[in-house]
Structure 1
């Protein structure tokens, strides 16, 4: 695969054989983000678990102290008093049954996170086939199925992100933008790692953190020393 000059120049800053500590990795990832837009900084965490087994699933949510740098659009499924509560909290869209055909048939996806009150999950369940593959299905573990819609919306707007294993047992999550300070990125990264380490399943055997890499949208990956993270 042919790489552009900017990527090649950025890659020269990084020793591919080294494992960096958090401060050095974050300093390097900011230096390697040289695109003309404000690149997202992402963490890619490979875990020593087998997500095919229910007792080894790793999934949850964490509020990043400095947010993600992205404006998050929130859709809330609610009825009764909860509709006004969701709107007052700053939800971008609130509704119920009437949204089903809009999403299912018209392909409307102008939202990033879906929150639902428990009494609306019967309605939301009908959207499982379209929301599930996009990772948008509300989930109690992530705090997106709740009667406290004010807290749910506030947390999401403040920078709450959901993390979960993909099919290869890797978690991919944003930890901020290249325009963030090194301190802000480090705070966010440490908050994320703390949550993932805390979420270690009892059934997990052997090394839990197999590899941890940070990278900007267009930049090369930088490996971290996992022994200093656990």
Structure 2
């Protein structure tokens, strides 16, 4: 087992493992226990009382974080020529169609989000084995398959994120950077959690939000009170 560094020990000592912190407390504490030299990412992990194997208990959606993620999201717009300028003007990093379909077919996935049009989805079907495992397949439910390409690109660039429950019943999502103020982290976290609570499947029985943890890159995790709304 690797030995803890002095900074790791100091960070762990500041977190009371037996306490459920409020979002406000957790956001402030996280800034104290983040010791990386780079601007660490801040994430939330929410364990839900759902069975993701059942279609009527799948939780998937989007949320626009009020303060963004702090990350420059790389967006690929797969569009027809008449939509290319629209996508570029909205801030898409890569714009085109056939040349990028070929690149993806050969394994290229160096983007965070793909936005496309309904008419293009047929061409993306055969690439599901490349895009699916990486969470890059566009989906009408998340607003990434649309005729309003400019709006979709602009929203992603502004901090709109896609989330879904994994096979273990946990939703992992980024809510900012360690350089954010505690208030901004709290407001982003609250927006995500409020959205998740509203999405409780009718078929989900018992406790819906089982646990919430907030952490930054390499920091200890902070347990958050699930009674947030």
Query: Quick one: distance in 1 between partners of 2:18 and 2:130?
Result: 41
Q: Is structure 2 residue 131 aligned with structure 1 residue 110?
A: no
Q: Is 2:109–2:131's contact at 8 Å kept on the other side of the alignment?
A: no
User: How far, CA to CA, are the matches of 1:71 and 1:43 in structure 2?
Assistant: 19
Q: Tell whether the 8 Å contact from 1:61 to 1:162 is kept in structure 2 after alignment.
A: yes
**Separation of aligned partners in 2, 1:139 and 1:74:** 14
Does residue 218 of the first structure (1) align with residue 218 of the second (2)? yes
CA apart distance, 1:110: 2.4
Alpha carbons 2:27, 2:182 under 8 Å: kept: yes
Q: Distance in 1 between matches of 2:56 and 2:129?
A: 24
Q: Offset at 1:89?
A: 1.1
After superposition, give the CA deviation of every residue in 1:30-77 in whole Å (9 maximum; x if it has no partner). Answer: 111111111111000000000100000000011101110110110011
* Residues 158-197 of structure 1 mapped to structure 2, 5 A cutoff: 158-197=158-197
How far did residue 220 of structure 1 move?
0.4
TM score, norm. by length of structure 2:
0.96
Question: 1:109 Cα deviation (Å)?
Answer: 2.3
Question: Is the 1:103–1:109 Cα contact (8 Å) retained in structure 2?
Answer: yes
Write out the 4+ residue segments of structure 1 that deviate beyond 6 Å after TM superposition.
none
Query: Is there any run of 5+ residues in structure 1 with no aligned partner, and where?
Result: none
Deviation at 1:192, TM superposition (A): 0.5
Asked whether the equivalents of residues 42 and 172 of structure 1 are also in contact (C-alpha less than 8 Å), the reply is yes
2:142 aligns with: 142
Report deviation, 1:116.
1.0
**Residue-by-residue CA offset, 1:101-126 (whole Å, 9 max, x unaligned):** 21221x32221111111100011112
Q: Is the 8 A contact 1:48 1:210 kept in 2?
A: yes
Distance 1:183 1:18 in 2: 21
Number of residue pairs aligned between Structure 1 and Structure 2:
228
Unaligned runs of 5+ in 2: none
Q: TM-score, normalised by structure 1?
A: 0.96
